Structure 1
C-alpha cells in the first residue's frame, strides 16, 4: 500500500502541537519521533519513509520548535514537554508506542518513560542529550531583562543555520540548499526567540543518574563516532547508567545521524525491535 501522510494541529496541555502522521497500513504499530534542539520534524525526512514501511509514524514538533506553538504561558521544561507528548497520545487514543528521540528529543523520551513506564515498548536514543545541567543563575536572571530575546536571536545568528549544520554533520558534502532552507524555516518568525528565552530560564537540566537507573524500558543507543555536540563518551556513560540498554556506534557519522546515515539507523532500529 502507498504511504499516507497527514499534517495535524492539536491543542494539548495548553499549547498548539503540530504533528505529522504517516502510515501505510491502519493496523501498524505506532512509532513516535521527537527531534532535537533548534530542529523540527524536518530532521527525520530521510528516516520517515523507511520507518513508515513497518509502522504508523507520528513525528512531533516539540514546542516551541517547528510549527508548534510559542506560548508565553507554556512551561518549557523537559518534564512538561514529555507530559505534552503523552497528552497527545491520549488525544489520539494511543496506549503503547515505540519511540525515538534525537539529541534533546532523547531527554523527552526518557522523561516519558519515567512518567508512564508501560507506554513505550522499546526506545531508541539517537545521540541523546545527557548530563547537561540547567543554565547558570546569572544567565537565568539575565533572561528576565527586557529584550533579552534579541540577544538570543543575535547569539544564534552569529553561527547561523549553515554554521550549525557544519557542526552537527561529519560529511559537510551532505549540506545543500534544501537542507539549509528546511532547518532555517522555523526561525523566520521572531516569536520563537521569546519562547527560547523562556526555555533557557525554565529548562531543568538533563536527568541525573539516579533517575536514569529507574528506567526499565529496553533502550537502543545509536551514536556517531564523530559526534562533536554530544561526544561518544557521553553515549558510553548513558549506556552504563540505563539498566536495559545497548550502544551501537556508527563510524563516520556526526551528531545528525537521521540525516547522515538513515539506512543504517533504520536497520539498527528494525533489528532491535524485532529481537
Structure 2
C-alpha cells in the first residue's frame, strides 16, 4: 500500500524530571554481560529478530557509547487544558559529554529508533552528539496516557525531551513519519531550538486529502499496510519500502519481527495513522520554514513519490536543497546509507557558516 509515513525502519530487518542515571563501572559491565547472555539464549531459540534487537542494544551501549534514558514528560501532554496524562519517552543519548554538535534523529513508522538508524548511527555518532528517541507509542517504553495522537503532540514530546536533557539548540533529521514530526518542530513547537533540518522521504507537502486518496487507491487498509500481523503483510511492506528487498524472507523470521515490533501498542499506532491522514502535520497551509533545510529522497520511492520532494523544495525555496538518491526506495537511510550519512555530515557541518560553525568537525 502506498500508505503515508510508511515503514522505512521496518526494513532494517533486512539489513529535569525522572531521568535515569547513566550506567557506569560495575553496572555497565553487568548490563553488557546480561545482554550477552540474552543474545546467546535468543540465538539458541532461533529468534533471529529478537537476537538482532538485543545485538543492536549491545552495539549502542558498548561500541557507540549510547545509553537509554527514560524521561517523564507530564507537561508535554497538555494542549490548552486537554490531553492531560503522563508520558514517558525513551531516548538513546551519549554516555559522556563532548564538543560535538547535537543532532536529534527521528525514526519512521515501521519500527523504533535502533532499527531505523542501524546503518547510520556508527558514522553519524563520530561527528555528532546524537539523541535518538523512540517516539510515543513506539518501542517498549515510550508510552502516554494522553488521548492526543497528532504530529503536534509528538513534536511537543520530542522538544520537551530535549529540554529536559539540557540541550537548548540542536539540528534535527527525520525520515518518513519522523520527518512530519521534525518539520512540525522546526515550524512551531521547537522553532527557536532547531538549527538546521534534514527531511527524508516525507510527504509533508501532500495535503491530507491527497494522502487519503493515495491510501484509498490501494487494496489494503493503512493499518494492514503499516502494521502487519502476518508474514505476507510484512513481506509486502518490506517490498514496498525497498527498491532492492532481500530475496530470502522466511516466515518464521518475519513472524518473530512482527511479535517484536508491531504487537505492542498497535491500536494506538493505528490511531496515529488515522490522525496523520486526517490532519497531516497540522498546518493549513504548510508554512515556509526559516531554517536551512536539506531534503533527501529515493528515486524509486513507492510510498511517497519523488514529486512530493520537488514540491517541498519549491515551497521552501532558496533556503532548501533537494538531493535524489539513485536506486533507493522509501527506506533510503538503509539502501542509500553511505549517501545519506555523507549528505547529513556535509550539510550540518562542512557547509555551515558563522560563529561556532566548526564545532565538532572532523
Q: Is TM > 0.5 for Structure 1 vs Structure 2?
A: yes
Deviation at 1:198, TM superposition (A): 3.0
Verify the 8 A CA contact 1:62 1:68 in the aligned structure 2: no
Q: Does residue 170 of structure 2 align to residue 122 of structure 1?
A: no
Deviation at 1:56, TM superposition (A): 1.0
Q: Which structure 1 residue ranges, 5 or more long, are not aligned?
A: 137-150
SS in 2 for 1:37: coil
Question: Which residue of structure 2 aligns with residue 67 of structure 1?
Answer: 140
SS in 1 for 2:99: coil
- TM-score normalised to structure 1 length: 0.83
Q: Cα 1:220–1:114, aligned 2, differ >3 Å: closer, same or farther? A: same
Q: Does residue 151 of structure 2 align to residue 90 of structure 1?
A: no
Q: Does residue 329 of structure 2 align to residue 254 of structure 1?
A: yes
Q: Cα 1:182–1:56, aligned 2, differ >3 Å: closer, same or farther? A: farther
Verify the 8 A CA contact 1:107 1:207 in the aligned structure 2: no
CA–CA distance in structure 1, aligned partners of residues 103 and 312 of structure 2: 22
SS in 1 for 2:105: strand
Q: Cα 1:165–1:23, aligned 2, differ >3 Å: closer, same or farther? A: farther
Verify the 8 A CA contact 1:152 1:193 in the aligned structure 2: no
CA–CA distance in structure 2, aligned partners of residues 46 and 24 of structure 1: 22
Give the aligned length: 257
Verify the 8 A CA contact 2:89 2:143 in the aligned structure 1: no
Deviation at 1:120, TM superposition (A): 1.4
CA–CA distance in structure 1, aligned partners of residues 294 and 253 of structure 2: 27
CA–CA distance in structure 2, aligned partners of residues 270 and 24 of structure 1: 21
- TM-score normalised to structure 2 length: 0.64
Q: Cα 1:96–1:182, aligned 2, differ >3 Å: closer, same or farther? A: farther
CA–CA distance in structure 2, aligned partners of residues 25 and 216 of structure 1: 29
SS in 2 for 1:249: strand
Give the alignment of 1:34-183 within 5 angstroms.
34-41=106-113, 42-115=115-188, 116-130=190-204, 131-133=206-208, 152=223, 156-157=228-229, 160-173=233-246
Q: Cα 1:153–1:73, aligned 2, differ >3 Å: closer, same or farther? A: farther
SS in 2 for 1:211: coil
51-60 vs 155-164, which deviates more?
155-164
Deviation at 1:182, TM superposition (A): 5.6
SS in 1 for 2:116: helix
